[in-house]
Amino acid sequence: MSSESPDTFALGLDEPPQPAAAQPYRVLARKYRPQSFAELIGQDAMVKTLGNAIRRDRLAHAFLLTGVRGVGKTSTARLIAKALNCIGPDGAGGPTIDPCGVCEPCRAIAEGRHIDVVEMDAASHTGVDDVREIIEAVRYAAVSARYKVYIVDEVHMLSKNAFNALLKTLEEPPAHVKFLFATTEVNKVPVTVLSRCQRFDLKRISAEQLAAHFGEVAEKEGVAIEPEALTLIARAAEGSARDGLSILDQAIAHGAGGVTADQVRAMLGLSDRGAIRALLALLLAGDAPGALKAVRDQYELGVEPAALLRGLLESVHGITRAKVGGADDPALSVEEREAYADWAAAIGYAALHRLWQLLLKGLAEVHNATLPLETAEMALLRVIHATDLPDPGTLARQMAGEGGIPPAAATPASHGAPAAPPPPVSAAPGRPASFAALVDALDQGGKPLLAQQLHDFVGLVRYAPPLLDLKPLKPFAADFARDLAAALKAMTGESWQVALTEDGAAEPSLRDQELAEKQRLKQKVLDTPVVRAALDAFPDAELVDYSLNEQRSA
């Protein structure tokens, strides 16, 4: 009888358990690649078109999918291949916009091993010989699938000769062949190829859709993530699902199980949005030392100067949207919306547009600078000191001698505080004293076409700001009066009533008045004794572009 214990004997009968082989980690961008059209986010119009085409048996022989990186071009091509070749769980199905995903063709295409679905990277197969292989192969029927499908990624990389070699086959392929082309640079694809394909432009995916999608992915991965962190990742993705999933993957590793907004900012080198608002407040208040210190503090936290300027640009854009009454950005916090609303009520359009242009110029300089931090500081100092300058409309009124707002008084208005009213010369501050001065102010204020129309083709009936009655001397567009009133409001800050009168007396146009004055001066020169004697001595002589002023200066 054996001395071994029953337990030892039992263990000896069975092989010891082997440790399970570790599965290699798959990045989120691959793990959550869409496996059906229902999982393809942000491309509803394309899915609807394809679904209708499949149901009505109106399938094109070639499709061109274009869009920025990571929006789903290659994934869509694979889904179309599955939709065309799906046979259903029972093996009796036909083409469908909802492939089952369980039949052999669906599984083989998803795993990249289907013999009749050929993927080719045009970036590494650019020549005629590579295309010739396709041309030779299309003559043969599919081995096991309903359609033989060729997916050519980055098709714009094919050479000119390769495109030319493909044209005939692309125009009249066999009935069992479908071509699916994907490209990020559709402008490099020859028109001869575009005309032979049904084109789908895949849109950038909105930040809201991306944030929702990333939230679902994080939940499936068992990772707790703050909503603000999802918003930051979605914004950083710039419409690309793949880029966003890669950032999310990195954020999960960075956060060691949980992801917070502060961790994402630190990882991406983004500035805290509260710090951005504080810096903008310092700029608007003209606090140069405080602004420079805030920039240095953010830089020491790892925030790149370019990211700081981009944040300021986003804030200025948000303030402008709030001022014009645009829809609220769902990604903004309550504090941001309230701050933008307060600034929008205090800052004029001219100051906002000038602030945008100065920051945009500063961002371009930072991108090209060898000293980014110092360049950013100089750009922000330029923003602070440029607020002392009057806007073009005010400058035009000052040059016209009409007592517009002086530069010193323009500074508080640029910072959000109301400016002290200057001594009025015209009917009210900011109103041009005459119709001619108003036309000049429009011309200097960036409305040269409108100023020319008023100068050449209207007669003045009444000028009583903010009332303006005009008589058109030629037909105008129906919205001329509305556009003029809007321009005058932007220039003077008050609402104007503009009326166009077809009948009644009106002054000659400013152009006719200038021509009449020029003729009067010319006649005055002709009537001088010296000129009259010269013309009598030389009857064929004539006076050409000469004035009394020129005579005195000579």
Higher pLDDT, 240 or 6: 240
Answer for the pair 541, 534: CB distance below 8 angstroms, yes or no: yes
| pLDDT of 149 strictly over 70 | yes
| pLDDT of 517 strictly over 60 | yes
How is residue 264 written in tokens?
């994402």
Q: Which of 353, 285, 287 is closest to 319 using CA atoms?
A: 353
Question: What are 388-435's pLDDT values in tens digits?
Answer: 565 555 556 555 554 444 444 343 333 333 333 333 433 455 688 888
How is residue 364 written in tokens?
């371009």
Mean pLDDT over 148-153 rounds to 92
Distant-in-sequence, close-in-space partners of 295: CB < 8 Å, separation ≥ 6: 279, 305, 308, 373, 376, 377, 380
Measure the CA–CA gap between 141 and 148, rounded to whole angstroms.
Answer: 7
| pLDDT of 35 strictly over 70 | yes
Give the three-class secondary structure for 33. Answer: coil
* pLDDT tier for residue 502 given thresholds of 50, 70 and 90: confident
Mean pLDDT over 156-174 rounds to 90
Count CB atoms within 10 A of the CB of residue 288: 16
| pLDDT of 13 strictly over 80 | no
pLDDT given at position 208 = 87
How is residue 496 written in tokens?
């104007």
Measure the CA–CA gap between 288 and 382, rounded to whole angstroms.
Answer: 10
Pairing state of beta strands 198-201 and 497-500? unpaired
How is residue 14 written in tokens?
């069975």
Answer for the pair 405, 428: CB distance below 8 angstroms, yes or no: no
Answer for the pair 105, 138: CB distance below 8 angstroms, yes or no: no
Q: Which helix (H) or strand (E) holds 225?
A: strand 224-225
Higher pLDDT, 12 or 28: 28
Q: How many CA atoms lie within 13 A of 248 on its CB side?
A: 36
Q: Which of 252, 245, 257 is closest to 39 using CA atoms?
A: 245
Range picked from 198-202, 262-266, 298-302, 333-337 for highest mean pLDDT: 198-202
- Could you tell me where the DSSP H helices lie in 238-368? 241-255, 261-268, 273-285, 288-300, 305-324, 334-346, 349-368
Answer for the pair 214, 29: CB distance below 8 angstroms, yes or no: no
pLDDT given at position 402 = 47
> For a pLDDT cut of 90, what percent of the chain falls above it?
22
* pLDDT tier for residue 15 given thresholds of 50, 70 and 90: low
Question: What are 187-202's pLDDT values in tens digits?
Answer: 999 999 999 999 999 9
Fill in the DSSP letter of residue 131: H
> What burial letters (b/e) apply to 355-377, b meaning 16+ CB within 10 Å?
bbebbeebbebbeebeebeebbb
How is residue 549 written in tokens?
């002023």
Answer for the pair 96, 86: CB distance below 8 angstroms, yes or no: yes
Q: At what angle do helices 349-368 and 407-415 cross, to 10 degrees?
A: 80
> For a pLDDT cut of 70, what percent of the chain falls above it?
84
Q: Does domain 273-386 have CATH number 2.40.400.10?
A: no
Answer for the pair 440, 400: CB distance below 8 angstroms, yes or no: yes
| pLDDT of 222 strictly over 80 | yes
| pLDDT of 64 strictly over 80 | yes
User: Among 4-13, 156-165, 243-252, 386-395, whose mean pLDDT is lowest?
Assistant: 4-13
CATH topology of domain 28-201: Rossmann fold (3.40.50)
Q: What are phi and psi of 146, to 5 degrees?
A: -75, -40
- The angle formed by the CA atoms of residues 310, 315 and 319, to the nearest 5 degrees, is 150
How is residue 7 written in tokens?
């337990």
pLDDT given at position 66 = 92
Domain ranges for the chain, please list them.
28-201, 207-268, 273-386, 396-500, 510-553
Q: Give residue for tokens 């129906």.
A: 478
Fill in the DSSP letter of residue 256: T
Question: What are 93-143's pLDDT values in tens digits?
Answer: 888 888 988 999 999 998 889 999 999 988 888 889 889 989 999 988 888
Distances from the Cα of 512 to the Cαs of 153, 296, 435, 473, 515, in angstroms?
A: 65, 60, 14, 11, 5
Answer for the pair 246, 212: CB distance below 8 angstroms, yes or no: no
User: Among 83-87, 89-93, 373-377, whose mean pLDDT is lowest?
Assistant: 89-93
> Which of the four CATH numbers 1.10.540.10, 3.40.47.10, 1.10.8.60, 3.40.50.300 does domain 207-268 have?
1.10.8.60
| pLDDT of 183 strictly over 60 | yes
Beta bridge partners of 469: 462, 499
pLDDT given at position 3 = 46
Beta bridge partners of 498: 468
Mean pLDDT over 473-480 rounds to 82
Higher pLDDT, 392 or 42: 42
